[in-house]
Amino acid sequence: MPFRFRLLLVFALATGCSSTTTVTGTPAATSAADTTALADTTVAFDPTTFASGEFQLSVVSVDDTCLDGSLDLVFMPTGKAAPYPLKNRTLIPALSELPKTYAMKLAAPFSDMTITMVSVQGKPAHMAVQDAVQKNVALGLPGSKDCVGDLRISAEVAITSKDAVTLSVTATLDALRSATDTCPVAKLPCAVKLTMTGAR
């Protein structure tokens, strides 16, 4: 084979191979447009698919603005170091069922109460309870074992996934009374704020 022809053949093969060579090394940075395109493919949780069911609710934190923390143990009887699970599971309805009125089972010192769950305007993944009532709750206060109080309870429930919710709860203390006149002095009404979580 003539030398000139061999040289042209080698050049042609080299040129052809270079078009299929795998490039290694650090890939190019993703552009802002590419990042947006990736974000657009992520499917957010659709709260309308949330199904009604029984949830285990737990009190995660309590902020007593009424009696400087004296009411903490009413809502977290085992202390604030770890979440306190309620003794009974609680129904959380589907958004499509709202408004829904039903009985919520509670353990002492609280009693079962009727609540109405409603939708929250402008918040499609939220529902709320307004002005549920607890009467004659034994507060177990030091130096006043017979002191009882009346509470109005409101809560906002946020659906965070198909199996989880978070709750912001306000228990408003409206009245204190004691047969022995030993209830502490408090500026009423005042609020106890709770943060809660729920898992199916």
Q: Residue 131 has what pLDDT?
A: 87
Q: Residue 14 has what pLDDT?
A: 44
**Is the Cβ–Cβ distance between 196 and 60 less than 8 Å?**
yes
Residue with tokens 């902020």: 63
Q: Residue 143 has what pLDDT?
A: 86
Write out the two tokens for 46: 């659709």
Write out the two tokens for 187: 């500026």
Q: Residue 115 has what pLDDT?
A: 97
Query: pLDDT averaged over consecutive 10-residue blocks of the chain (200 residues)?
Result: 44 42 40 42 76 98 96 96 97 97 95 96 95 95 93 97 97 96 95 98
Q: Residue 34 has what pLDDT?
A: 44
Q: Residue 189 has what pLDDT?
A: 97
Q: Residue 1 has what pLDDT?
A: 52
Q: Residue 44 has what pLDDT?
A: 74
**Is the Cβ–Cβ distance between 21 and 50 less than 8 Å?**
no
